[in-house]
Structure formats: C-alpha cells, structure tokens
Amino acid sequence: MNNILNSIKLDYYIMKSSDFKRIAIIAVIALFVGVVTKNPPIMLGIIMMISAFLMGTIFAVVEKNNLNKLYGILPVKKQETVIGRYFFALLAGVIIAVIATILTFVVSYILNVGFGGFTLAVWVCGSFLFFCLLISTQFPLYFKYDFSKLAAFANIPYIVLIIGGEFLIGKEPQLFGQAIKFFVQNQYMIWVVGIIGSLVLLSISTFISIALYKNREL
C-alpha cells in the first residue's frame, strides 16, 4: 500500500510540474464559454474532457525525462505503478469535478441563470463518466507503447465513439428518448450509472494495463 501511495505522490509531482497551470487556463476558457453561452453547466463538460486528455501527458513527461528507468529501480512493482496512476487519475478527476461544479454554481449565481437537479446530475455524472472513459482507453495504450508513438492517433477512438453515438441516435432516436424518459423518472439512477459505470471502466482498464505493462521492458 505504501508503494502505491509513493507512486501516487510521484505522479502528483510530475503533473504539478507541467499541467496544473494548463488546467487553470482550461478553467478560464470554460468560464468564458459558460458566460458567453449563458449555459454554466457546459463548463463541466469542457473542463472534464480536456483534463482527461491532459492526464495522458504524465506519460509524455515520463518518456521525455526517461523516468521509466527510475520506476524500474525503485522498490515499486509495475502493478503498483499502474494502480497508483489510476488512483491518481481518479482522485484528480473527483477534485476537478468538484471545482468545476462549484465554478458552475458561481457563474450561475452571477448570471442569474438557474438549472434543475436533473440538469446538474446529467452534466456532473456524464462529464465524469466521459472523463473515466477517456482515461480507460488512453492509459492501457500508453502503458504498452511510448507516448510519442501514439499521440497522433490517440484521439481516433473518441472520434469513432462520437460518430457512432450520433449515428445510433439518428438511426434509433426512440431508444434515446426512452433513455431520457427513464432517467427523468428515476433521477437517482443518473448518479448510480455515473459512479458505478466510471469505477467499472477504470477497474477493467487497470487490469488490462497491468497485463500490458508487466511485459514491457523499462
């Protein structure tokens, strides 16, 4: 457990050296979009989506500074490194989601734009679920291959996912309508699906990453 905590701390310092300022810039951009569109909840989606992409830059910093060799000599197993990085991403996601939600309420109050609990739940849970989906698809690839080799192709799965989602909605709009009706009538299920779905995605991805990373030469 101590080794996993040490791995989390190491990832924190790596992230601190490169991306915390970028996240602050993202917050400013999201704030601008929320104010201009007078749709504060949209800030949640912007912040969470871009933050998920930034999580991948941990691998870029590790590769650039050849830190994989450092991980190799530390008394931390590869499995613990993987688990620590996923825990770090999860904690970062929760903290960013909380900050983004607070920012949404502040902007909503300033603009005097109200929104209901259903809207908030959809944006919070949907954004966090998408954050975890991005992490779950990125991390196994980056644990297996160098970041520089995949950076240009990392967005392809998300483009396919978006196009596929739009096609499905257009092809079977009644299914989308039924899903909305279900969640409107059972709003607590938004939180259940969002939280459990996120954890399931990260758990499956963690096992895949462990299997891929244990055979990688550092």
* Sequential DSSP letters for 71-134: HHHSS--HHHHHHHHHHHHHHHHHHHHHHHHHHHHHHHHHHT----HHHHHHHHHHHHHHHHHH
**Residue whose pair of structure tokens reads 């799965």 in the numeric block:** 157
Containing 206, the helix (H) or strand (E) segment is: helix 188-213
The answer to whether the beta carbons of residues 41 and 123 sit under 8 Å apart is yes
Split at pLDDT 50, 70, 90, the class of 212 is confident
Structure tokens at 132: 């975890």
Per-residue pLDDT tens over the stretch 103-112 = 888 888 888 8
Task: Determine the pLDDT at residue 88.
Answer: 92
Give 136-187 pLDDT, tens digit per residue.
Answer: 988 998 888 776 676 666 666 666 666 766 666 566 566 666 777 777 787 8
The answer to whether the Cα torsion of 81, 45, 124, 112 is positive or negative is positive
Query: In terms of pLDDT, which residue wins out, 120 or 14?
Result: 120
Q: Please, which residues have CB within 8 angstroms of residue 38's CB and are 6 or more apart in sequence? A: 111, 113
Q: How is residue 145 annotated by DSSP?
A: S
pTM to 2 decimals? 0.84
Length of the chain: 218
Average predicted confidence (pLDDT) for the chain? 80
Longest dimension (CA), the chain: 56
CA distances from 198 to 36, 40, 194, 207 (A): 30, 23, 6, 15
C-alpha 211/C-alpha 48 separation (Å) is: 27
